[in-house]
């Protein structure tokens, strides 16, 4: 097995010695990624889908066994609290989340059961997540578990605008179309067997950095990186895959509808193409600068095998899309060219004319 270079959490590998080659293998569908640091929460019981539908942003009541969905748990003001990748196998709804989020999500859901016929459990110690890129007509490199007869394979809905969703990005050829990622659930006890297959060269593996680079290039937000305590879904173009604008009420729905129909998100997601001459990459939270003033922060960065150094950043809505930006890395300003994902005029889709402020109307003389 290639020598693993562990990431910051010490659980999964950032890379195995050649991040660029690993990216190319992953993009071609020839490698898996260990995401066993992710968490898994299960919801069982006959009311599981209608109950989750009532709490979160996506329409889940008609989710068929084997179908995938993405949904968000918002606070009463519409700010993101959790993002969940959902698979239902006909008996259990499986919620795949960033690992650190699983205990808090399970605890919150358990408090919300009331009289509903549901049971919630954090099963992260028993189940592990793997990922790969997988076209619709291909077989996964590792067979996912199927405890109730339905393979536990989550297909990322980011590849296209989902029913009831909305895309703010103006690109006619959205890069998400090439990001056909799936996440596979396997029993954690199988990880040793999978590692043996890698050592025997029967299975290729890529590090987490390879998946991050492809994710950033696809403009795909992730809860653990792009979200802070002020984030609303509109800022990240997350209405595209995780919000159903025509479903019934849920917590935070009023803010979602108001910003989408009448207002504008206060911040917006951009991709930055970075000057690579200094071989520096900004870390999470690095300031995005315009003429000496901070106008945003970097949320994710990577070296892409074709695009070079790139980053996602959340910036002020009012920032000029053509502005020449820099990113601070250890006190060194790195030039950054902005590529618009969420445009400054995102929202206000109802087209309601804005009324003048009181006192601003000029009376005829």
Domain assignment present for 262 = no
Residue 136 placed within a domain: yes
Note whether 131 and 33 are within 8 A (CB).
yes
Last residue of a domain, one of 198, 226, 254: 226
CA distance 177 to 212: 16
Indicate if the alpha-carbon torsion angle 282, 302, 127, 244 is positive or negative. Answer: positive
Q: Are 216 and 309 contained in the same domain?
A: no
Q: What is the arithmetic mean of pLDDT over 79-83?
A: 98
On the question of pLDDT at 364 being above 50, the answer is no
* pLDDT, tens digit, 9 for 90 and up, residues 120-135: 999 999 999 999 999 9
Residue 286 and residue 268: Cα distance in Å, rounded?
16
Range name among 4-18, 51-65, 182-196 with the lowest pLDDT average: 4-18
Residue 244, CA distances (Å) to 41, 78, 177, 224, 296 in order: 22, 14, 20, 22, 28
pLDDT at 3 over 90: no
Based on the domain organization, do 301 and 220 belong to the same domain? no
pTM of model > 0.85: yes
What are the pLDDT digits (tens) for 187-245? 999 999 999 999 999 999 999 999 999 999 999 999 999 999 999 999 999 999 999 99
In a domain, 239, yes or no: no
**Domain-terminating residue out of 226, 254, 287:** 226
pLDDT of 362 strictly over 70 = no
Residue 364 lies in a domain: no
DSSP assignment string, 308-331: EEEEEEEEETTS-TT--EEEEETT
List C-alpha distances in Å: 311 to 103, 261, 278, 299, 342. 30, 29, 15, 7, 15
**What kind and span of H or E run contains 182?**
strand 181-187
Whether residue 73 is found in the same domain as residue 144? yes
pLDDT at 2: 62
Say if CB 342 and CB 268 are below 8 A apart: yes
Q: Which residues pair with 70 in a beta bridge?
A: 85
Of the chain, the percentage scoring pLDDT greater than 70 comes to 96
Instruction: For the chain, count helices (H), then strands (E).
Output: 8, 18
CA–CA separation, 107 and 81 (whole Å): 13
Residues 296-331 pLDDT 10s: 999 999 999 999 999 999 999 999 999 999 998 988
CATH code where residue 220 lies: 3.30.1360.120
| One domain for residues 174 and 279 | no
Domain count along the chain: 2
Torsion region of 343: left, alpha or beta (phi above 0 gives left; psi -120 to 50 gives alpha): beta
With respect to residue 219, please indicate whether it lies within any of the assigned structural domains.
yes
Give me 13's structure tokens: 């590998």
Identify the DSSP state of 27: H
Note whether 296 and 219 are same-domain residues: no
Question: Helix or strand or coil: residue 229?
Answer: coil
- Please give the Cα distance from 281 to 283 (Å, whole number): 6
Whether residue 281 sits in one domain with residue 221? no
CATH number, residue 298: 2.40.30.110
> Model confidence over 8-20: pLDDT tens digits?
777 899 999 999 9
In a domain, 130, yes or no: yes
| Same domain as 165, residue 45 | yes
Q: Over 60: is that where the pLDDT of 360 sits?
A: no
- Domain with 218 in it: 5-226
Q: Are residues 63 and 211 in the same domain?
A: yes
Domain annotation covers residue 190:
yes
Return mean pLDDT, the chain.
94
Residue 82 within any structural domain of the chain? yes
């Amino acid at each position: 097995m290639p020598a693993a270079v562990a990431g910051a959490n010490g659980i999964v590998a950032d890379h195995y010695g050649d991040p660029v080659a690993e990216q190319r293998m992953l993009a071609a569908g020839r490698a898996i990624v260990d995401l066993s640091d992710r968490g898994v929460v299960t919801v069982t019981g006959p009311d599981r889908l209608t109950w989750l539908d009532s709490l979160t942003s996506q329409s889940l009541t008609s989710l068929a066994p084997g179908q995938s969905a993405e949904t968000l748990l918002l606070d009463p003001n519409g700010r993101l609290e959790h993002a969940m990748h959902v698979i239902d196998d006909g008996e259990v709804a499986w919620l795949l989340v960033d690992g650190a989020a699983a205990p808090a999500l399970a605890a919150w859901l358990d408090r919300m059961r009331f009289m509903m016929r549901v049971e919630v459990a954090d099963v992260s110690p028993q189940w592990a997540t793997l990922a790969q890129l997988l076209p619709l007509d291909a077989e996964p490199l590792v067979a996912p578990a199927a405890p109730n007869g339905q393979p536990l394979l989550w297909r990322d809905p980011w590849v296209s605008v989902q029913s009831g969703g909305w895309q703010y990005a103006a690109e006619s050829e959205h890069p998400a179309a090439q990001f056909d990622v799936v996440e596979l659930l396997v029993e954690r006890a199988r990880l040793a067997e999978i590692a043996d297959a890698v050592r025997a060269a029967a299975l290729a593996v890529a590090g987490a950095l390879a998946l991050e680079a492809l994710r950033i290039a696809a403009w795909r937000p992730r809860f653990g990186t792009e979200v802070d305590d002020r984030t609303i879904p509109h800022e990240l173009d997350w209405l595209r895959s995780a919000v159903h604008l025509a479903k019934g009420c849920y917590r935070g729905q009023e803010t979602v509808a108001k910003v989408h129909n009448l207002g504008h998100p206060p911040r917006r997601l951009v991709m930055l193409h970075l000057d690579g001459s200094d071989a520096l990459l900004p870390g999470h939270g690095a300031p995005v600068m315009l003429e000496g003033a901070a106008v945003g922060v970097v949320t994710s960065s990577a070296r892409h095998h074709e695009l070079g150094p790139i980053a996602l950043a959340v910036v002020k809505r009012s920032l000029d899309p053509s502005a020449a930006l820099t990113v601070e890395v250890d006190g060194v300003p790195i030039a950054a060219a902005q590529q618009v994902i969420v445009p400054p005029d995102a929202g206000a889709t109802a087209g309601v004319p804005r009324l003048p402020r009181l006192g601003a109307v000029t009376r005829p003389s």
